[in-house]
Chains A and B, each alone.
Chain A
């Protein structure tokens, strides 16, 4: 046997991947935030480089020596050593070397007393600073989402591109510009306080909401990576809600809304990846622990005296989650929540969703009438769901031809494969029902 074979047995490659799912991604988010505080926000790229190098090192060494007893502390220590090397080598840090080195020493001192509450708090503070920096009003909102995914969630430009149906190059460019904006505006790497906190918190919430919706709405892209977006949005909102600065009713409301909708994701697609409507979903596949968490945060969100859009959307979602089956859905309550929501958000999409509740509470006819009087309805002219909703109403009224026309229109407008499959199926069902009806009518006439 050669020497190399005796001294470096290579364990099965699966071993390193057996650490907690997304361990490296989430560790990266922690360390990038801490290093950014130490290096300065204008050196974000360098912080990212150090983290990458650290992860490569972990992945290259662990197969030989096994996973360390405390992987997180191992990673922190290696990142610290690499960061110290960098600041000694890089002239950017020359004037600040002592200061930065001192801060780095503190990080290592913290790392030795692992799992201490103070270390966890310091990490949480750094990640919140990063969240406020990424969601700074100086950064365009689309870029805010991308930057948060990159720095806090450890997504690559290619992964972000796949999730948002843009190219890797376009995403990389967007990220570079966002970082440039942050540098140019001298954005402070801090958690805002006082009056500023409220406004800045709203910005963070909007970005997290957008992130969640990108994952939730089925506008294309890879299903798996889109579910990841929802989970990352929930993770970041949880970090925010658990932090004293973010422990506000609105934050809990947004988190509740994400959890209560996210809990139903596993039941939303069938085995072939086709979309299942609420009434077709197998409710036993809803994630009950997640619903319980959502309900908890919904209760937390009632601490204030103001109901935000997040509160109302969360409450609507809670109605669906609470229903044993589709028939048990509390439509009158949902309608009253939509009535209040529309006062806060007069977008035609909210109004369209409200018509579904109207149709359930009153009649399909009332639903159609409500669609006709939607404010700014022309904005929905190219929105396939308008025709899907109208198609359902007409089908419920047995207006076969009108329903066929609407579903045909919806089919033409959607680019999502699973939706196309859905409308094709609808059209076929209506045609079959009609053919059967005609055959029966024909048989009746023959027998008479």
Chain B
């Protein structure tokens, strides 16, 4: 194929304490940088989705029977604070984008994960596995 194949990558932002010790106006500035960044990636066609996640929530597990407990789920340093869904050429490209995350300056981390193709069964057909819905309709 002459056109480069694009795949989906998930950026998971870990660390929900990045705002500790910052003033309201400093927080405002960091959040603004995050949105500016997401907007740019969206305009470039690289980001397909992105949202912050609230720190509270529930954890459902099989620990004591099927149990539901309150979040947070991990150490606040590890807890996921948001995600971006990217569509780019390679894992390296996704990692390069992750390096621009404004929260890195404030102790947050980014986990970059390749997203499995839509239907695992489609692995039998390499043609289908790389074809994204958007591209297929184009």
Q: Write the residues of chain A forming the contact surface with B, with a CB cutoff of 8 angstroms.
A: 1-2, 4-5, 8, 10, 12-13, 16-17, 22, 24-25, 27-28, 49, 52-53, 55-57, 59-60, 63-64, 85, 89, 154-159, 172
Contact = CB atoms under 8 A, between A and B. Distances in A.
Interface string B2-40: 000000000000000001111111111001100110110
A109 to B, nearest CB: 24
Nearest to B36: A13
Interface in B94-111: none
B52 interface: yes
A25 B51 contact: no
A172 B21 contact: yes
6 contacts: A10-B42, A13-B39, A52-B19, A55-B24, A59-B28, A159-B23
Contacts of A154: 23-25
B134 interface: yes
Given A2-B49, A56-B27, 10 more contacts: A8-B51, A12-B39, A53-B19, A53-B55, A55-B24, A57-B54, A60-B52, A154-B23, A154-B24, A158-B21
Given A13-B35, A52-B20, A172-B21, A158 B26 contact: yes
Enumerate the 7 nearest inter-chain pairs by beta-carbon distance, A residue then B residue, closest first: A4-B49, A156-B23, A24-B24, A13-B35, A59-B31, A60-B52, A25-B24
Contacts of B50: 4
Contacts of B134: 1-2
Nearest to A23: B24
A4 B83 CA distance: 13
Contact of B22 (A4, A13, A156): A156
Given A2-B49, A2-B134, A89-B70, A60 B23 contact: no
A362 to B, nearest CB: 50
A155 B23 contact: yes
B56 interface: yes
A25 B39 contact: no
A157 B25 contact: no
Nearest to A52: B19
B56 A55 contact: no
B98 to A, nearest CB: 19
A381 B98 CA distance: 57
B23 A59 contact: no
B77 interface: no
Contacts of A13: 32, 35-36, 39
Contacts of A27: 24
B9 to A, nearest CB: 15
B112 interface: no
Nearest to A26: B24
Contacts of B79: none
A157 to B, nearest CB: 6
Contacts of A1: 134
Nearest to B132: A2
B24 A4 contact: no
A24 B25 contact: yes
A154 B48 CA distance: 35
B80 interface: no
B44 to A, nearest CB: 13
Contacts of A53: 19, 55
A22 B27 contact: no
Nearest to B20: A52
A85 B56 contact: yes
Q: Which one of A89, A155, A156, A159 has the greatest number of beta carbons of chain B within 10 Å?
A: A156
